[in-house]
Amino acid sequence: MPELPEVEVSRLGITPHVLNQTVTKVNIHNASMRWPVPDDVYQLQGLKVTSVERRAKYLLLGCELGSVILHLGMSGNLRVVSADEPLKKHDHIEFILASGKALRLNDARRFGACLWQAPGECHTLLTKLGPEPLTDEFAAKRVYEHSRNKKVPIKQFIMDNAVVVGVGNIYANESLFKAGIHPKREAGKVSLKRYQQLVPIIKETLAAAITQGGTTLKDFAQSDGKPGYFAQQLLVYGRKGEPCVTCKEPLKEIRLGQRSTVYCSNCQK
């Protein structure tokens, strides 16, 4: 999926097309996403989109009757196209805009979601989320304290939404490499000093990826269809066996929580 940078790039891309636009029609071409898409989503029809926000990897399109919640899963992406453009395979949901354009959610694997949240409500999916990584709430001291007595490997720890949201497999691998921390190290045994290095690195890595338009591996595209360019800056992800950029040792790969984990055994301790 799109990790946080890709979702934020999507938000930035669609906002000028969607914000303050009236949604003339909602088309649900395939309602079987991760959860069935509720008919509530049709409430957006005829209303103006008054906000386009992001919480973790969720996007929220607000109107006076509530908000549509979108999640891109592993393979989802959002595109803004002319409404008369033919649908592509896996274009499951579309929001036709008064401007003549359409916002389309394409998601081959359908791990994504489209849900509804009434005004003043906070969807249960959003209530248990930890701090946003790009805010001051995500601070080394807080993460350090949260990590005490945790035996889980540091990589899985920073991918836990209760610790910090939005850090997925790519950026977890990248951040740990830059911080020189072995991905398997117990979270509870990482010192405050090392969290003080890691936390800013996570923030910088995510921020840089947003600036680059995100990471395009295969599915992800920006809302105008162009790829993101951060993949060119990946130091370890997808580079198993290739030389470490620092010491030239071949990078190793292990599996943690069934996710591919690439690191340098020489530089990461």
Q: Which residues are catalytic?
A: 2-3, 57, 259
CA–CA dist 256, 236 (Å, integer): 15
Question: What is the number of alpha carbons within 13 Å of residue 247 lying toward its C-beta?
Answer: 12
Please list the residues that pair with 6 across neighbouring strands: none
- Residue 148 lies near DNA (rule: CB under 7 A): no
Of positions 154, 219, 223, 264, contacts DNA by CB under 7 A = 219
Cα 134 from chain centroid (whole Å): 13
Residue type, 130: G
- Complex with DNA: residue 109 or 185, whichever CB lies closer: 109
Q: Using the minimum distance from each CB to DNA, give the nearer residue, 47 or 152.
A: 152
Q: Taking the complex as a whole, how short is the minimal distance between the CB of residue 35 and DNA, in angstroms?
A: 8
Shortest CB 239 distance to DNA, Å: 12
Tell me how far CA of residue 102 lies from CA of 21, 40, 85, in angstroms: 11, 19, 9
223 interacts with DNA by CB under 7 A: no
- Does residue 85 contact residue 6 with C-beta atoms inside 8 Å? no
Choosing from 151, 191, 232, 241, the residue that interacts with DNA (CB under 7 A) is 151
Residue 57 interacting with DNA (CB under 7 A): yes
Q: What is the DSSP letter of 186?
A: B
Residue pair 37/93 in contact (Cβ under 8 Å)? The answer is: yes
Does the protein bind DNA through residue 98 (CB under 7 A)?
no
Characterise 180 by phi-psi region: left (phi > 0), alpha (psi -120 to 50), beta (else).
left
Shortest spacing between CB 201 and DNA, in angstroms: 17
Nearest distance from C-beta of residue 48 to DNA, angstroms: 28
Nearer to DNA, 66 or 228 (CB): 228
Task: Give yes or no for residue 73 binding DNA (CB under 7 A).
Answer: yes
- Residue 90 near DNA by CB under 7 A: yes
Closest by CA position to 161, among listed 136, 184, 127: 127
Closest to DNA by CB, 66 vs 166, is 166
Residue 257 binds to DNA (criterion: CB under 7 A):
yes
Sequence letter at residue 212 = Q
Piece of 10-18, 19-27, 194-202, 217-225 that binds DNA (CB under 7 A): 217-225
Structure tokens of 139? 């601070």
Determine phi and psi for 154, rounding to 5 degrees.
Answer: -55, -35
- To the nearest 10°, report the CA torsion of 124, 203, 200, 191: 40
Pick the binder of DNA from 48, 109, 142, 185 (CB under 7 A).
109
Q: Does 108 bind DNA (CB under 7 A)?
A: yes
Q: Which residues bind DNA (CB under 7 A)?
A: 1-3, 6, 32, 34, 56-57, 71, 73-75, 89-90, 108-111, 124-125, 128, 149-152, 156, 161, 168-170, 214-220, 228, 257-260
